[in-house]
Structure 1
Amino acid sequence: MKKNKFYSYIFKRKSIRNYDLTPLDDAKLKEISEYLNSLKPIYDDIKTELKIISPDYVKRRMMKEAPHYIAVFSEVKEGYLTNIGYMLQQADLFFSVNGLGCCWQGIPAPTKELVGSSSLDFVIFIAFGKPKDPRSLHRSSVSEFKRKSLGEITDIAGADELLEVARIAPSATNSQPWFFTGDKNLIHAYSVEPGFIKRFTKKYIPIDMGIAICHLQIAAEHFGKKAEIVFDKTAGANVHNGRKYIASLKIK
């Protein structure tokens, strides 16, 4: 299965909600499991566990069924949700590259049996499988993304080709809770508090930020740059218009 075309697929990936409920074969599930075990974290010291499970362990709460789910567990430490977003977006793009659909699932809940199967805390599900309509797997144009403009999410000049991939990143209820400042060599990522209508998405903001940071790093590396996630004390100490500092990307 391919994993070296992530950059180009950022511009056409989409969340899939309607699935062919035929389970994937064991060989493909084994490949997916091996890839999940290779996901790169932001924090090496935060324990995580990713389980491929059947729908039997998911309380869907009116969400449509998928043939498979990834149940995501994590040690609860500072930055753990951003870490999960960063890791699992690699899986999201991996599915898209390899002809499978997926969708982050914040509403469904795990069964007691599933919760008890791990010593870590349950975080979120990702549904995956073959799309019911193969033609629905990818977007045909960037214009299909309903996103804020670059001017609404950054004040950095000269880094549009990098920041565009953050602009079109997925987020809970499409809240797009990010703002980027700094310069093209050191991009600081801040989260934005949701408005009153989307206040219930607040718990997913750190995950969304991890997703956007993942996209930024993929873009930088695509353009032949070395991109290191760092934590800048100055950026962290300076509140930027009430926003919360998450991390920075140092680009060389």
Structure 2
Amino acid sequence: MEKTEFYSHIFKRKSIRNYDLTPLDDARLKEISGYLNSLKPIYDDIKTELKIISPDYVKRRMMKEAPHYIAVFSEVKEGYLTNIGYMLQQADLFFSANGLGSCWQGIPSPTKELLGSSNLDFVIFIAFGKPKDPRSLHRSSVSEFKRKSIGEITDIAGADELLEAARIAPSATNSQPWFFTGNKNLIHVYSVEPGFIKRFTKKYIPIDVGIAICHLQIAAEHFGKKAEIIFDKTVKMKMLKGHEYVASLKME
């Protein structure tokens, strides 16, 4: 399944927290593993490792159990968290498009055995499996998303069709920590600096912005545009109060 086919699932995906705990069969897990190996990064020079694991290696901390988890590891370099968000949202949409539920898991932590299984740093989990109630897999309407309005996340005119996909992207505590400026052919992506109360989610802001960039690029490609993620040093030098420049999406 090509990434552009995920566009429709952006508008009906949801985070699944209640699972049928029956493990998926080996053939299905092999298919998922193969897809994980094909995920496209923003930064080719950042090493990542994704492991499909059982719940035995997850300290859930009162979170509900799932039959399977993806343990995400990464080399720690500039942009690594945004890179993880971008990559793993492809997996989130893959699950939604293939009859499985998933959910980003920021609270659970890895066991010592899992930490010792990789030379890279642990970042986050994604839970996945069959939803306990198959009818709960997808939203029936965009109105079910509780999100900021377009006007709260951008000052770009004429790009609502593209930015709607980013607007409804998932984020930790539904904080939606992104802002888009520029124009419909060159969109600059900023992260919002966390307020005092939100500082405990600071780690997840770059991940969330990577998720939004993934949605934005999928939307651009859906509408027939060639969309390239670039890093514009001149934009980075132009500070936007209360925000930090992350990347830009150049469209042709």
Number of residue pairs matched?
252
Unaligned runs of 5+ in 2: none
Paired residues of 1:51 and 1:70 also in contact (CA < 8 A): yes
Q: Secondary structure at the match of 2:202?
A: helix
| One-letter amino acid matched to 2:11 | F
The farther-off stretch of 13-22 and 198-207 is: 198-207
Match of 1:242, as an amino acid? G
Root-mean-square deviation (CA, aligned residues, Å) is 1.0
- Determine whether 1:172 maps to 2:172: yes
CA contact 1:2–1:98 (8 Å) conserved in 2: no
3-state SS of 2:203 partner: helix
Match for residue 135 of structure 2? 135
Q: CA deviation at 1:241?
A: 1.7
Q: Is the 8 A contact 1:165 1:219 kept in 2?
A: yes
TM-score of the superposition, structure 2-length normalised? 0.98
**Is 1:58 aligned to residue 58 of structure 2?**
yes
Q: Which residue of 2 aligns with 1:83?
A: 83
Whole-angstrom distance in 1 between the partners of 2:238 and 2:3: 37
Deviation at 1:193, TM superposition (A): 1.8
Equivalent pair of 1:177/1:205 in contact (CA under 8 Å): yes
Could you tell me how far apart the structure 1 residues matched to 2:61 and 2:110 are? Answer: 11
In structure 2, how many angstroms separate the alpha carbons of the residues matched to 1:198 and 1:141?
A: 29
How far does the alpha carbon of each residue in 1:91-143 deviate from its partner, in whole angstroms, 9 at most, with x for none? Answer: 00000000000000000000000000000000000000000000000000000
| Identity over aligned pairs, percent | 88
Superposition deviation, residue 195 in structure 1? 2.8
TM-score (norm 1): 0.98
C-alpha contact (below 8 Å) 2:18/2:66 kept by paired residues: yes
In structure 2, the residue matched to 1:99 is 99
1:196 deviates by 3.0
The 8 Å contact of residues 13 and 93 in structure 2, kept in 1 or not, is answered as: yes
Change (3 A) 1:97 1:19: same
1:215-226 maps to which residues of 2 (within 5 A)? 215-226=215-226
Per-residue deviation, 1:194: 2.5
Please state how far the C-alpha of 1:3 moved relative to its aligned partner: 5.8
Secondary structure of residue in 2 paired with 1:122: strand
- Shift in alpha-carbon separation, 1:219–1:4, aligned structure 2, 3 A: closer
Are 2:191 and 1:191 equivalent residues in the alignment? yes
For structure 1, the 5+ residue unaligned runs are none
